[in-house]
Structure 1
């Protein structure tokens, strides 16, 4: 690996989503977005639901992460995500349906609704739709 690259590995409990050398990435950290270049200072942070933006050989692409943790050390970035999807894997119709279900749950305000869970489902669906649309 050249000094202008860093290894990015994104894994979930189900699978390895990504494992390649990249030039730059922006991750949805707990306190805001984090830009990571090769030789970045070591760090460990939690991740929010959001879009990870990646640059690799003059190409840009996105991966939606649904929380988890990120470790940066020795030009290697390891993301342990609760869930992660490349934009080409996102089923937009399914994401739209999940968004509608979450919105309906939040509007219903019935006592048996887990509001926090519905809010997180809504955030995940919105990020998936946003990433798939390229916005």
Structure 2
């Protein structure tokens, strides 16, 4: 009977070990599943955030390209305006130079006329003084 009892106790112990192993396996499976779900939720949130940020970056990148193109056009227009203004200033400089040359010529003519007029006055004055003598 002792042998039967030992066999029976051993069977009970083995059954208990199997039961505890099955329970531990079930707990481990449940914990792994929970961990996977938690990690999956975190990863899904991160992936959603990454996609959202990527879309925002694409939109900002497009806006930056548009603004850069607008700036290039504006810069080109300003360059044209600056070249035009430089040409106008050159023309003004040319006109000023021309006006100064005309002014100088007029001063020469004025001085020449004054000399001629003074000589006429001197000649008339000399002629009238010689007739009175």
* TM superposition score normalised by structure 2: 0.17
Q: Which has the higher helix share?
A: 2
Q: Which has the higher strand share?
A: 1
Bigger radius of gyration among the two = 2
* TM superposition score normalised by structure 1: 0.17
